[in-house]
Amino acid sequence: MLERFLKQTSFVSEEDYRQHLEFIIPKNFNFAYDVMDAWAEERPEKLALLWTNDHGEEHRYTFADIRRLTDQAASYYTTLGIGRGDMVMLILKRRIEWWISILALHKLGAVAIPATHMLTRHDIVYRNNAASVKAIICVEDPYVIGEIEKALPESPTVETIIIVGDEKCDASQESTRHVAEADATRRGSRCDVGPIFHRFHAEVSSAPPFVRPAFVNTNEDTMIMYFTSGTTGEPKMVAHDFLYAMGHLTTGVFWHNLSEDSIHLTVADTGWGKAVWGKLYGQWFAGACVFVFDHEKFTAESILRQMERYRITSFCAPPTVYRFLIREDFSRFDLSALRYCTTAGEALNPAVYQRFFELTGIRLMEGFGQTETTMTLGTMPWMNPKPGSMGKPNAQYDVDLIRPDGTPCEDGEKGEIVVRVRDGHRPLGLFREYYRDAALTRSTWYGGSYHTGDMAWRDQDGYYWFEGRADDVIKSSGYRIGPFEVESALMTHPAVVECAITGVPDETRGMVVKATVVLGKEWKAKASPELIKELQEHVKHTTAPYKYPRIIEFVDELPKTISGKIRRVEIRQKDTTQS
């Protein structure tokens, strides 16, 4: 498979990778046809997806199964008027229909818009109107259907709602009317609120045999679009073309180090961009089995039990998950099948890396990217990880660090991470635009580069070290303090599970460092001025003393975006309001 898309398919060193990574880009590439259907031809009985949930249900799907189900779904969606260029929002949690639907939409040339089940009416209205959403495919969940119902009167472009669920699923009174309306639509009637409601499982089997459209897409057409959760303002619409899927080949094959023998688990909700990083494109380029654990509530123990039971070989999760995992008793679990682990989504604290290595003997390989990119920086299998470092630039990107005046930074100097766009040629995997917002696109694409807004520094070996968002840097008494360096120091104290560092205005110093801290359950009863002093002294002895937090607040949880990123801006706003 890889020989179709790469001039060289394996690498032994960073130099080899950087010099010889070269993609073979087909005309009108379509991941669903050119990768998934190709696997169905070559290895029809190869296990592609293994799904289980917290009720003990289990389903296994081969590549032949995936082809049959996606063809069936594509035909069904065609009967509902969905076709090339149509905007379709997917709110499906971790149901198998998410994978089937997104691939079916690729086969039609429609635009998939993954979304989390936690969206409110306001969120849904904004997305429907900003993207002119035509159809919503959603899980049969009382909350989800209820919020969609509230949004419909203000969503004039939405024509179709497709409900995915058990026909006998218990629904709330609010959603029961929709279920009745969905039944009525099968008799040809239309709901009073406007869109026609359909039931996926009651109707999909009646779809005619699928016929591939005469023309599906160009490489430049929009394939998938994400609303970034953002830490300020309304979400941005990040539009990716059909080559975005190929951009993730390096994510799965090289960074995750996957092969046809791998069983890979990435912890991510399907509404996040991280889902296609770890549950779809790169993994199936490698021919690996994607493992899905559909659960309502995350616990470290339940994840470890699944890894033991299903002999997971490869695992990826944000550092937050690892912080909870390392607090478990690993002697209770057989993780002998586990060979490779990666992490991304936020910066990794070295203390977490070290403890996980002590427990498993496995080195955590960190990576960095955004909703706008694929993996931009990473620690590849041929590299020695430096705990806390994001690694080196992925060879498909020309990455640099720049000063505010646009000049390149020296090693050891903090600057903004940028991706160079040489001669107007976008790197494979870099987004096309912020949809319908040319001004916002221009604000990040200028000077021959895409400006990430993330700050880092580079050591003499070429490894990059994360500092924080440009607007998160704290300026105190003439010092520039990155929040991550203080958070890393605090995280080495056994009392701290999570923390967020922000700046608080101060008349004397301009700003002072504040730590908002979540304590481990065994430490919560010890929250006191004495513990605050202990944590402050710990930071002073772990990093430069001027960085220590002069203010520490203990909280039960940190404010986060829908995608799980800490909202430091919310902490700052709260402090400003209270001051």
Q: pLDDT band for position 172 (50/70/90)?
A: very low
Q: How far apart are CA 9 and CA 23, in angstroms?
A: 10
User: How is 151-176 classified by DSSP, letter by letter?
Assistant: HGGG-TT--EEEEES-TT----HHHH
Q: What is the pLDDT of residues 203-212, one digit of tens each?
A: 999 999 999 9
Domain 473-578 grouped into CATH 1.10.10.60: no
pLDDT score of 157 more than 60: yes
Structure tokens at 170: 């218990």
pLDDT score of 193 more than 70: no
Q: What is the pLDDT of residue 576?
A: 73
Q: How far apart are CA 113 and CA 124, in angstroms?
A: 12
Integer CA distances (angstroms), 454 to 147, 225, 566, in order: 34, 21, 14
- Sequence length of the chain is 579
Q: What is the pLDDT of residues 544-558, one digit of tens each?
A: 788 899 999 999 999
pLDDT score of 265 more than 90: yes
Q: Can you state the percent helix, strand and coil of the chain, rounding each to 5?
A: 35, 25, 40
Radius of gyration of the chain (CA): 24
* CATH superfamily, region 397-470: Luciferase; Domain 3 (2.30.38.10)
Is residue 390 within 8 Å of residue 368, measured between CB atoms? yes
Percent of the chain with pLDDT over 70: 92
β-partners of residue 512 are 504
Beta-carbon-side half-sphere exposure of residue 125 (alpha carbons within 13 Å):
11
β-partners of residue 263 are 289
Contact residues for 535 (Cβ-Cβ < 8 A; gap 6+): 490, 493, 495, 496, 515, 517, 549, 552
> Average model confidence (pLDDT) for the chain?
90
Identity at 126, one-letter amino acid code: Y
Helix (H, G, I), strand (E, B) or coil at 198: strand
Is residue 478 within 8 Å of residue 447, measured between CB atoms? no
Is residue 375 within 8 Å of residue 250, measured between CB atoms? yes
Identity at 186, one-letter amino acid code: R
Q: What is the pLDDT of residues 411-457, one digit of tens each?
A: 999 999 999 998 778 899 999 999 999 999 999 999 899 999 898 99
Angle formed at CA 272 by CA 400 and CA 49, multiple of 5 degrees:
110
Helix (H, G, I), strand (E, B) or coil at 2: helix
Q: What is the pLDDT of residue 437?
A: 93
Q: Where are the domains of the chain?
A: 31-219, 397-470, 473-578
Residue with tokens 């380029």: 285
Which residue, 242, 317, 254, is CA-closest to 285? 254
Q: What is the pLDDT of residues 567-576, one digit of tens each?
A: 787 888 888 7
Return the beta strands (E) in 78-181 as ranges: 87-91, 111-114, 135-139, 160-164
Q: pLDDT band for position 187 (50/70/90)?
A: very low
Integer CA distances (angstroms), 186 to 67, 71, 167, 173, 191, in order: 26, 21, 14, 21, 11
φ, ψ for residue 189 (rounded to 5)?
-90, 165
Structure tokens at 116: 């989390």
Is residue 12 within 8 Å of residue 382, measured between CB atoms? yes
Q: What is the pLDDT of residues 389-409, one digit of tens each?
A: 999 999 999 999 999 999 999
Q: How far apart are CA 24 and CA 35, in angstroms?
A: 13
Q: What is the pLDDT of residue 229?
A: 59
DSSP 550: S
Range 76-91 average pLDDT: 98
Q: pLDDT band for position 287 (50/70/90)?
A: very high
Architecture of the domain spanning 31-219: 3-Layer(aba) Sandwich (3.40)
Q: What is the pLDDT of residue 474?
A: 79
Which residue, 111, 105, 172, 123, is CA-closest to 145? 172
Integer CA distances (angstroms), 217 to 249, 451, 505, in order: 20, 29, 52
- The dihedral over CA atoms of 175, 181, 186, 191, expressed in degrees to the nearest 10, equals -130
| Range in 34-43, 456-465, 541-550 with the lowest mean pLDDT | 541-550
